[in-house]
Structure 1
Amino acid sequence: MQSSNPIFRRSEGFNGRGNATMNSPATWSTGAAGGYAQGQGGYDQGGHGGGYGQAPQVDQGRMTIDSVVQKTGLTLGVVVLFAAATWFLTPNLSEDPAAISTLYALSMFGALTGFALAMVNSFKKVISPALVLAYAAVEGIFVGAFSKSLEAMFGDGLVIGAVLGTMAAVAGTLAAYKFFDIKVTPKFRMWVMGALIGFVAVSLLNFVLRFFGADFGFNGFGTMGLISSVIALGLGVLLLILDFDFVERGIEAGLPERESWRAAFGLTVTIIWIYIELLRLLAILRGND
């Protein structure tokens, strides 16, 4: 069953097609169809199902929940570090109102560079830890600059509220996924990814129309912005469920430990998405008080 998430699409194991034979690394990097057949977790320990008969090599270790948590923690730590550095090293807006242009430039740099690195990481067949950490660093710059500018414009407390809300959303979604044994079906994936594509398309349309003075506020801080933020938060929770499912499939498929970085990257993208939309939602609600 193929993942529709571009971050995980390049990894066979995340799609339930990975070969769990760790002494045959070529099977997961070349798309062999042995091993984790049809999502049942059946391992082809000898490589017979995938048609590979390579000589035993050094066991590189398998991806586990612990390795995914460690890599995700490290990646999010880099985001927080660079966000904090951006926050404290940029001028205080109360003392220098003109500094808003600096924050805007930093947020645009972080957002655009982060998007480019996200695309590279999403479509690389072999995940690069260095590129994942580079993505985390530039996204940290974006998060720090965007957060500081919104807190300056809409008042104190927004960032703390968004951080706590993000932690609650991630913990709550994980608890619901495990305790309620949520099953991710092909139809569920199709609907979530369809909604995501539609949301991104409308957001990009609004972004382009803004240059012609005809945007309809989808990315703004008005009523339409409120609606889009609520929709985006709902999508973020659904994407987290897909992420958890993809990670679970990758572990069952016996992917190499290096693939923990791909899992960490996917989770980091979704968590940043949720944080930014929560921050924007709180700003909109504060502005409407």
Structure 2
Amino acid sequence: MQSNNPILSRVSVQANFSQPMTVEGAVQKSILLTIVAAVVGVAFYIYCNLTGAFNIAMAGFFVGAVGSFILAMITTFKPNTAPALAIPYALFEGVFLGGVSLFFEMKYSGIASQALLATFATAVTMFVLYRTGVVRATEKFKSVVISASIAILLVFVVQWIMVLAFKSTIPGLFESTWLGIGFAAFVAIVASLNLILDFDLIESGAANGAPKNFEWVCSIALLATLVWMYVSFLRLIGLLSDD
């Protein structure tokens, strides 16, 4: 079975009918990882904010981003490692969330709670649309969302290279302009649509008899999408506040 989530697009899983995964198991593990990431994120945010340890917050931002990315890649190519790496992945994501939230809060007071509310409301909406069949994870839908996700990733890679190598940015795309706001909104929409792929991945995995450890792979994918959504809403709300 091949995943439709960007970070799992090259994973192949051998079915194990003696102990297959279940939707309930994947949901429980997803909730667990989300809680772990949220608790760590809030604790790290509060600590850095109260102590004024903004350098530690920035270090946590980078360490969390790199650490979670590395662990996600490992579970992508070696899904059997997911049960052992899932909690560490959530810890890294939590540190990243705490750092990035403090960064935005320093510039836009109250933005973290707004982005969190937007993420929660959007996640619920996507789930309802998926369960009612209004939005279906057809092959065309998957292809469009995955292609858009890859395109966004490439744009960000180009942006990072330009910043690091040339001290410049892509003109207008990451600024508080109509182009920048439009791009940020597009990223938030694509990130949200990835939830449909995650929901479908869980149901397809259970239907195809994927092994029990694939529940952890699905939970990592779902948490990755939620974090992407949250950061996307942070950027979008921040740009709108500047406008």
> What's the TM-score, normalizing by structure 2?
0.89
Amino acid at match of 1:222: S
Q: Is the 8 A contact 1:127 1:259 kept in 2?
A: no
Counterparts in 2 of 1:42-191, with a 5 A limit?
60=19, 62-92=20-50, 96=52, 99-155=53-109, 157-191=110-144
Residue 198 (structure 1) aligns with:
151
Residue 223 (structure 2) aligns with:
268
Secondary structure of the 1:21 match is coil
Q: Is the 8 A contact 1:233 1:278 kept in 2?
A: yes
Q: CA–CA distance in 2 between the matches of 1:3 and 1:145?
A: 30
Secondary structure of the 2:79 match is coil
Q: CA–CA distance in 1 between the matches of 2:216 and 2:129?
A: 24
Residue 7 (structure 1) aligns with:
8
> What's the TM-score, normalizing by structure 1?
0.76
Q: Is the 8 A contact 1:165 1:278 kept in 2?
A: yes
Q: Is the 8 A contact 1:20 1:253 kept in 2?
A: no
Structure (1 or 2) with the larger CA radius of gyration: 1
Task: Indicate whether 1:251 and 2:206 are aligned.
Answer: yes
Q: CA–CA distance in 1 between the matches of 2:24 and 2:73?
A: 26
Q: CA–CA distance in 1 between the matches of 2:82 and 2:40?
A: 20
Task: Indicate whether 1:228 and 2:183 are aligned.
Answer: yes
Q: CA deviation at 1:67?
A: 0.9
In proportion to residue count, which structure has more helix? Answer: 2
Q: CA deviation at 1:182?
A: 3.3
Q: Residue 243 and residue 237 in structure 1: after superposition, are their counterparts in 2 closer, same or farther (change >3 A)?
A: same
Q: Is the 8 A contact 2:17 2:211 kept in 1?
A: no
| Aligned-pair Cα RMSD in Å | 2.2
Mind listing any 5+ residue stretches in structure 1 that lack a counterpart?
Answer: 13-17, 23-59
Q: Residue 149 and residue 214 in structure 1: after superposition, are their counterparts in 2 closer, same or farther (change >3 A)?
A: closer
Deviations 1:125-171 (A, max 9, x none): 3142221111110111010011012112111x211111111111111
Q: Residue 173 and residue 218 in structure 1: after superposition, are their counterparts in 2 closer, same or farther (change >3 A)?
A: farther
Q: CA–CA distance in 2 between the matches of 1:222 and 1:109?
A: 27
Q: CA deviation at 1:116?
A: 1.3
Q: CA deviation at 1:104?
A: 1.8
Report how many aligned residue pairs link the two structures.
240
Amino acid at match of 2:236: L
Percent of aligned pairs with the same amino acid: 30
Q: CA deviation at 1:89?
A: 1.6
